[in-house]
Amino acid sequence: MKHKEKLTEVYNKLFGKFGNRHWWPADSPFEVVVGAILTQQTKWENVEKAIRNLKDMNLMDAESLSETGVEELEELIRCTGFFRQKSRRLKNISTFFAKNPDILEKHEDELRKTLISLNGVGEETADSIVLYAAGKPKFVIDAYTKRMCSCLGIKGNYGQLQSIFESSIPKNVSMYKEYHALIVEYGKRFCGKKICSDCILVENGKMQ
DNA sequence: TACCAGGAGAAAA
DNA sequence: TTTTCTCATGGT
């Protein structure tokens, strides 16, 4: 089966199972940016606590966050792990957003390139911001996506997998958001477990 | 106790 | 250019 047909079938199956995920949970585009940094190698539940801490201190905007001391940030986001790195990354990116308030209005390719040039922002984090904060079409490839693709027999590095997804499904922001969210939900439940046999994409002992 | 979670960046091979 | 190591906490 070709990639396009396979990925379309997987989408339909996941949507049928999980429905609309309404992603990304955030009250503002900047909150998505903050969440994208904090969620690196961390469970979302811990990110939520840190975001609550920042909101309680009225720091959920670029200007306020950029003016906050690194040590204070470390305490507020400690629960997300890697707090020394992340506090510096947060301060760095919020300073950039404070100086460039219209950055999210740029074309997705230019925006992505700009974001990746910032310290602490790699491909996945940049794409998450482009898609969920700026609302522009860039498919996010995360660890779950790589694992799922590997099981489906679709191989490639980040850029290759992104190209496969973007050429297989309609270039549509809502579709990109929904598909990635569905893969995460699927991944949380079925990937990394020792019982792959329960995977909803498996039939007769093998992936479709 | 050991392992993993919605990565990125530097160092080593 | 690809792989490995480090960053760190909290939950299972």
Where exactly are the structural domains of chain A?
3-22+139-207, 29-133
Least confident window among A8-17, A156-165, A173-182, A198-207: A198-207
Peptide bond into A44 cis (omega under 30): no
Above 60 in pLDDT, residue A6?
A: yes
Mean pLDDT of chain A: 91
* Residue pair A124/A140 in contact by the 8 Å Cβ criterion: yes
The domain A29-133: what is its CATH number?
Answer: 1.10.340.30
> Does residue A53 approach strand C to less than 7 Å at its CB?
no
Residues A23-33 have pLDDT tens digits of 898 999 999 99
Read off φ and ψ for residue A193, nearest 5 degrees. -85, 160
How do residues A45-81 score in pLDDT, each as one tens digit?
999 999 999 999 999 999 999 999 999 999 999 999 9
Asked whether the beta carbons of A53 and A77 are under 8 A apart, the reply is: yes
A43 CA to C11 C1' distance (Å): 9
Q: Is the CB of A87 under 7 A from strand B?
A: no
At A196 the pLDDT is 55
Q: Is the CB of A78 under 7 A from strand C?
A: yes
pLDDT given for residue A206 in this prediction: 55
Place A204 in a pLDDT band, splitting at 50, 70 and 90. low
Contact A66, A94 (CB under 8 A): yes
pLDDT band with cut points at 50, 70 and 90 for residue A191: confident
Q: pLDDT at residue A152 above 90? A: no
| pLDDT digit string, tens, across residues A83-98 | 999 999 999 999 999 9
CA distance A35 to A9: 30
CA distances from A31 to A26, A62, A110, A113 (A): 6, 9, 21, 20
Nearest nucleotide to A42 (CA to C1') is B5
Which CATH code of 3.40.50.720, 1.20.58.100, 1.10.10.10, 1.10.1670.10 fits the domain covering A3-22+139-207?
A: 1.10.1670.10
